[in-house]
């Protein structure tokens, strides 16, 4: 959940109106290649943890999530990430996608259970909830019983049920295990936590992913919203104009996306104003190594 929503941080109507609306197809759209295929995807995706776990089919909250999806795709976004762990999120995504014509979706979900049979049933259920015959990416959620699920993921990818397969961690857990798996198996994607206050993955996991040709999805890019706490009410430094950032959210995402090993970051939100702040990071230049260091120093001093 995006803590800006609790803080009311940078969520004014005036700011939302000032942010870009239609940028789809823009030559400035920032994308990264998936190493195993060369396919390019935008560097900002959409997470759904907590934010898409909402009420019944006709609830205003569910329709509002459809508006979030529509605005995300309109801005050039593609990758939407979910999990059976996220309550009704997969069902909500599938139902609201059905209302959108020709959405350029890159579907990413997970298997999160114990046992090979249970995993196969869960993944088939997820395909039904997303209303897709083929999912773009299936991941083992937080490495849960990955030894049981990985043979199925490989076989179902070969059969065409998934286009890509991978594994995830979050909150800095099981990094040693993930590194061993990256170096032993052929993963199309890894997902991990990375942001200005949680940089442990820079030491081993990001280099390992780059060496082994795995795309990297970054979860918790705002540390669950905690990064905004000390930034509340503080103006952006002068360097923000150099990289085309009008908000702290866009700056924090560009800092992440500028790491050469990162493919896509997946902030979650339930507010259109915040969605527009996030997807604004899809345009304009990324910081170079020197500016990344300066940005980090300014954040730490804030």
Mean pLDDT for all residues in the chain:
91
pLDDT band at 9 (very low <50, low <70, confident <90, very high): very low
Give the global pTM.
0.91
Is residue 18 over pLDDT 80?
A: no
Q: Quick: pLDDT tens for 32-50.
A: 999 999 999 999 999 999 9
pLDDT at 58: 74
Tokens 């295990």: give the residue.
177
Among candidate residues 207, 122, 109, the one with its CA nearest the CA of residue 166: 109
Q: Give the whole-angstrom CA distance, residue 181 versus residue 281.
A: 31
Range in 59-68, 127-136, 199-208, 279-288 with the lowest mean pLDDT? 59-68
286-300 confidence digits (pLDDT tens): 999 999 999 999 999
Where are the domains positioned within the chain? 4-8+34-301
Please calculate the CA angle 129-123-275 and round it to the nearest 5 degrees.
Answer: 50
Q: What CATH number labels 4-8+34-301?
A: 3.20.20.100
């Amino acid at each position: 959940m995006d803590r800006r929503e609790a803080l009311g941080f940078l969520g004014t109507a005036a700011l939302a109106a000032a942010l870009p609306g239609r940028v789809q197809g823009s030559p400035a759209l920032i994308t990264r290649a998936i190493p195993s295929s060369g396919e390019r995807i935008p560097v900002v995706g959409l997470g759904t943890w907590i934010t898409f776990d909402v009420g019944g089919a006709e609830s205003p909250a569910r329709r509002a999530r459809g508006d979030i999806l529509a605005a995300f795709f309109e801005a050039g976004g593609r990758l939407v990430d979910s999990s059976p762990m996220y309550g009704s999120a997969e069902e909500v995504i599938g139902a609201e996608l059905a209302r959108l014509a020709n959405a350029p979706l890159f579907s990413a979900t997970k298997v999160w259970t114990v046992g090979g049979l249970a995993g196969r049933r869960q993944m088939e259920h997820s395909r039904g909830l997303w209303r897709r015959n083929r999912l773009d990416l299936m991941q083992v959620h937080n490495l849960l019983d990955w030894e049981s699920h990985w043979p199925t993921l490989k076989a179902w990818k070969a059969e065409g049920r998934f286009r890509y397969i991978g594994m995830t961690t979050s909150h800095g857990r099981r990094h040693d295990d993930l590194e061993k798996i990256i170096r032993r198996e052929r993963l199309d994607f890894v997902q991990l936590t990375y942001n200005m206050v949680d940089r442990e993955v820079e030491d081993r996991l990001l280099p390992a992913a780059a060496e082994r040709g795995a795309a990297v999805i970054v979860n918790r890019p705002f540390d669950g919203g905690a990064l905004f706490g000390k930034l509340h009410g503080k103006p952006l430094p002068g360097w923000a104009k150099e990289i085309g950032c009008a908000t702290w959210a866009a700056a924090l995402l560009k800092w992440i996306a500028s790491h050469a090993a990162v493919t896509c970051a997946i902030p979650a939100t339930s507010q259109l104003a915040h969605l527009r702040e996030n997807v604004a990071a899809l345009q304009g230049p990324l910081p170079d190594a020197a500016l990344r260091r300066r940005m980090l120093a300014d954040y730490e001093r804030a």
